Amino acid sequence: MVQAQQTAGSGAAPVSVDEIAEVLALDPTFRQFDRAALRAIAARCGSATFAPGATIMRQGDPGNFAYLVLEGEADVFVEIPAGRIPMATIGRHRIIGELGAFTDMPRTATVIARSDLVTLRVERDTLMSLAADYPQIGVAVIGELGRRLHSMNMPLAYLTYAAGALARDEYDDAMLTELTNQQGELASFARVFANMAAEIRDKQQRRREMEAAADIQKSILPEPLGHDGATAAVDLHAEMHPARDIGGDFYDYYLIGDRRLAVTVADVSGKGIPAALFMAVSRTVLRSVAGHGNMASAIGDANNLLAARNDACMFVTMFHGVLDLPSGILRWCNAGHDPPFLLRAGGGQERLRATGIPLGIDPSFSHRIGETVLMPGDGLFLYSDGITEAFNPQDEAYGAARLERALDRARGRSAAETIADILADTARFAGDAEQADDITCLALHYRP
């Protein structure tokens, strides 16, 4: 027989059979044993100490003993492919790995000492050999296992019902109130489940809100341009593909009077909801000043409005042009945006480069206005940097040179076909790489 030995420095480990029996009796499992059985077990207990961070038991290892904690604490983890999941902290007079002392089963968790740990070790062979002389040991072990099974059935029923309700989007916080108010590991799990369910419902609500915001954003994009009257002079098509549900890019086109067509492609700094809100504001501002006869004055007004009270320090790069449909005269401003391509009918290409900084940065900045003339058969291709900065799995950018070659290959096609070709070429280049930025483009063919 081996008695537990005093651990140096602990000052708390019991040294006699009676003291060990008293400590064992504090645990609900051993409390059911009579005094003689407790003393018999105590006489055959050993002691073990562990330093902080020591692994006491490892999940999956064979289990044939348990530890009763005399001093210190230990953390219990269940290991899954995603990592270690903390389940509980075991403290003084609690038992660790009792199933190993009762049954021949692998460890169901990993246990690591949180602090200096002083324990008593109870072997399964000890319990089984003593069961012949003390039948109440066997009865108590069977009763404990039955109690555990019984105590699990109702919580598992609650959790199963709640999981089904969550899957059907019918979950209610009250479903687990009774279980979360109880004690024990399953109650702790129920609290984790309830928190997870609340987070899932919040995410579902945010998802619905984002979908509604995406629908609103799509609704403010212009309808397809008609092909009668003055607009018969152009073939125009535009598309926007956000990297997320909602984006910071936008395109716009509309008639000013009965002979001028305004076209805009813009890209707001940032991502997500803030960018989408600033995008909507930018579009509204640009439309509100577009009727001014002086484009430089109109862009200046827009810049002032976007810079005013801009505490978030957001800005928008933008190409804005106004095409006189009968004459082909195009007046334009490029506020820090990617230079559009002017595709000449004879085969050449020009770039309409920046005439100023993005809007919303410096309210005092004066943007220059450019002017060119579109000849019959000429085209414009406006785009955001989501195309040129599309990356493939090798982390290579699509770039302006590839876009230029793709536009050459698309010559002679309609505006819609041109955009379809460019988007398809970009997608082939990117392959399986995730879209990192919003993609917006507008093609216009002048055909008076």
Three-state DSSP class for residue 371: strand
Point out the least confidently predicted range of 11-25, 303-317, 334-348: 11-25
- CA–CA separation, 151 and 162 (whole Å): 18
Please state the rounded mean pLDDT for residues 307-333. 93
Q: Given this model, what pLDDT does residue 145 score? A: 59
- CA–CA separation, 255 and 261 (whole Å): 5
pLDDT in tens, 39-56: 888 888 888 999 999 999
Please say if the pLDDT value at position 149 is more than 60.
no
345, 336 Cβ separation under 8 angstroms: no
Please state the rounded mean pLDDT for residues 433-438. 91
Q: Given this model, what pLDDT does residue 13 score? A: 52
Find the angle CA(354)-CA(232)-CA(351) to the nearest 5 degrees. Answer: 20
Q: Given this model, what pLDDT does residue 7 score? A: 37
Q: Given this model, what pLDDT does residue 305 score? A: 92
pLDDT bracket for residue 410 (50, 70, 90): very high
Name residues whose C-beta falls within 8 Å of residue 249's C-beta, 6 or more positions apart in sequence. 240, 242, 265, 266, 267, 268, 279, 384, 386, 438, 439, 440
Kindly state the percentage of the chain with pLDDT values over 90.
Answer: 45
More confident residue, 248 or 420: 420
Nearest to 52 by CA among 143, 121, 113: 113
Q: Is 412 exposed, middle or buried (0-12, 13-18, 19+ CB in 10 A)?
A: exposed
Three-state DSSP class for residue 148: helix
- CA–CA separation, 355 and 189 (whole Å): 61
Torsion (CA) 373, 374, 379, 384 in degrees, nearest 10: 30
214, 246 Cβ separation under 8 angstroms: yes
Name residues whose C-beta falls within 8 Å of residue 187's C-beta, 6 or more positions apart in sequence. 155, 179, 180, 181
Q: Say which DSSP state 368 is in.
A: -
107, 59 Cβ separation under 8 angstroms: yes
360 Ramachandran zone, left/alpha/beta (phi>0; psi -120 to 50): left
Please say if the pLDDT value at position 334 is more than 90.
yes
Q: How many CB atoms lie within 10 A of CB 282?
A: 26
Please say if the pLDDT value at position 242 is more than 80.
yes
Full 3-state SS string of 380-407: EEEECHHHHCCECCCCCECHHHHHHHHH
Single-letter residue type at 273: I
Single-letter residue type at 85: I
Q: How many helices (H) and strands (E) does the chain have?
A: 12, 18
pLDDT bracket for residue 9 (50, 70, 90): very low
Q: Given this model, what pLDDT does residue 4 score? A: 36
Neighbouring-strand partners of residue 320: 264, 333
Q: Given this model, what pLDDT does residue 297 score? A: 93
Kindly state the percentage of the chain with pLDDT values over 70.
Answer: 88
Burial letters 240-259, b for 16+ CB under 10 A, else e: bbbbbbbbbbbbbbeeeeee
Question: Could you please report the per-residue DSSP string of 156-210?
Answer: HHHHHHHHHHHHTT---GGGGHHHHTS-SHHHHHHHHHHHHHHHHHHHHHHHHHH
Neighbouring-strand partners of residue 341: 351, 381
Please state the rounded mean pLDDT for residues 206-234. 84
Please say if the pLDDT value at position 5 is more than 60.
no
Rg (Cα) of the chain, in Å, rounded? 37
pLDDT in tens, 53-106: 999 999 988 888 889 898 999 999 988 887 888 888 989 888 888 776 777 778
106, 37 Cβ separation under 8 angstroms: no
- What is the set of domains in the chain, with CATH numbers? 17-133 (2.60.120.10), 155-214 (no CATH), 223-446 (3.60.40.10)
Q: Given this model, what pLDDT does residue 1 score? A: 35
Q: Given this model, what pLDDT does residue 175 score? A: 72
Torsion (CA) 202, 203, 205, 208 in degrees, nearest 10: 180
pLDDT in tens, 86-95: 888 989 888 8
Q: Given this model, what pLDDT does residue 2 score? A: 35
Please state the rounded mean pLDDT for residues 372-385. 96
Q: Given this model, what pLDDT does residue 178 score? A: 67
- CA–CA separation, 225 and 415 (whole Å): 12
pLDDT in tens, 163-175: 777 777 777 777 7
Please state the rounded mean pLDDT for residues 163-188. 71
Burial letters 373-384, b for 16+ CB under 10 A, else e: ebeeebbbbbbb
322, 345 Cβ separation under 8 angstroms: no
Q: Given this model, what pLDDT does residue 371 score? A: 97
Question: Could you please report the per-residue DSSP string of 24-80?
Answer: HHHSTTGGGS-HHHHHHHHTT-EEEEE-TT-EEE-TTSB--EEEEEEES-EEEEEEE
pLDDT bracket for residue 18 (50, 70, 90): confident
Q: Given this model, what pLDDT does residue 176 score? A: 72
Q: Is 331 exposed, middle or buried (0-12, 13-18, 19+ CB in 10 A)?
A: middle
Mean per-residue pLDDT over the chain, rounded: 85
Please say if the pLDDT value at position 26 is more than 90.
no
Please say if the pLDDT value at position 272 is more than 90.
no
Q: Given this model, what pLDDT does residue 421 score? A: 96
Point out the least confidently predicted range of 273-282, 338-347, 364-373: 273-282
Nearest to 343 by CA among 401, 267, 410: 410
